[in-house]
Amino acid sequence: MFKRTIKLRIHNPLCDIRNKKFGNMTDLCINGDWTLYGPICKMNPNFGQIPLTETKLNIEFNPVLVGLGISMTLPKHYGAIIVPRSSTFGKFKCLLSNSVGVIEWNYKNEWKANLIPFEDTFIADGTSILQFEVKLLPDAPWYMKIMDLFISGFKYKKVDVLTTTREGWGSTDKINFNTQNLLCT
């Protein structure tokens, strides 16, 4: 059994993940102080003029894209599976918008999470709100699936700069990403 090395860039010292592993999952912290505002309920302007059974409420949620204070170079064909901590909704009344997030191996910018608050809340810099696990992605070749059986985990090597290779949030269906430096070392 051996450990693979992952290059880790820490954007905020409070978000350093190297000592935040509990079991298989590693905690992720929020980068900066954030005030999140809950949904806004807008009433139909004709509320008094139509029967109550036909009244529709218009609820607008305010999702917020927050930084997680780290970026890393995952090995090719690996991804980070991000989920909320069990206490996130109870303490902060917010959810991860897509329930489960996936950071692919070729994304090297700061990790981010799209949170949906259900009431006004404040989350302090460095608060653990999510957790992740690095896993082999399903499209990996067969020989990597066999090799993965012998990997006992990952160790992190802190670096100051990572080469970015592609865009992240909102870049779906864009063709213009850089194909250089896609191989991890």
Could you report the per-residue pLDDT of 43-101, keeping only the tens digit for each?
A: 666 655 655 565 566 788 999 999 999 999 999 999 999 999 999 999 999 999 988 99
Q: Which of 178, 174, 25 is nearest to 108 (CA)?
A: 178
Q: Do residues 92 and 40 touch, judged by C-beta distance below 8 A?
A: no
Q: What is the mean pLDDT of residues 104-116?
A: 93
In sequence order, which residues have a C-beta less than 8 Å from that of residue 90 and are 6 or more positions away? none
Examine the pLDDT at 32 and tell me if it is beyond 70: yes
pLDDT, one tens digit per residue, over 113-128 is 999 999 999 999 999 9
- Candidate CATH numbers 3.50.50.60, 2.70.40.10, 3.40.1170.10, 2.60.120.260; the one for domain 23-42+53-152: 2.70.40.10
Q: What is the mean pLDDT of residues 10-25?
A: 87
Could you tell me the pTM of the whole model? Answer: 0.79
Q: Do residues 1 and 153 touch, judged by C-beta distance below 8 A?
A: no
Structural domain boundaries in the chain: 23-42+53-152
Q: Supply the pLDDT for residue 19.
A: 81
- Of 6-10, 34-38, 99-103, 165-169, which range is least confident? 165-169
